[in-house]
Amino acid sequence: MLAATLGRDRKQKLRRDWESVKVGVMKMALIAKFTQHTDLKELLLSTTDAKLVEHTANDSYWGDGGDGSGKNMLGRLLMEIREKLQNENNNIFKR
């Protein structure tokens, strides 16, 4: 919550390379979130193969822009992480 609040504060200076690293930073944060919190991992896995969309009119990069025209990068990353977690779970039974 604190990171999100700070990220929205336009008085905070962004690192110079933010545009080139922001997806990687978000991906690392999401991996940490879903590997450290079993309940959230199970919730993400329970979406099986559903398309995940961050539906918000306030953000057309991380979200869908409210009308589906946005990039939905958060949804895309969540689906990518979900797939990795699903494969990880399947590999447990193959050992």
49 falls within a domain:
yes
Is 57 exposed, middle or buried, given 0-12, 13-18 or 19+ CB atoms closer than 10 A? exposed
3 falls within a domain:
no
> What is the per-residue pLDDT for 39?
98
8 falls within a domain:
no
Report the predicted TM-score, pTM, of the whole model to 2 decimal places: 0.87
7 falls within a domain:
no
Give 86's Cβ-side CA count (13 Å radius).
13
Q: 58 is in which domain, residue-wise?
A: 20-92
More confident residue, 36 or 10: 36
53 falls within a domain:
yes
Give tens-digit pLDDT for 84-95. Answer: 999 987 775 554
Tally the domains of the chain.
1
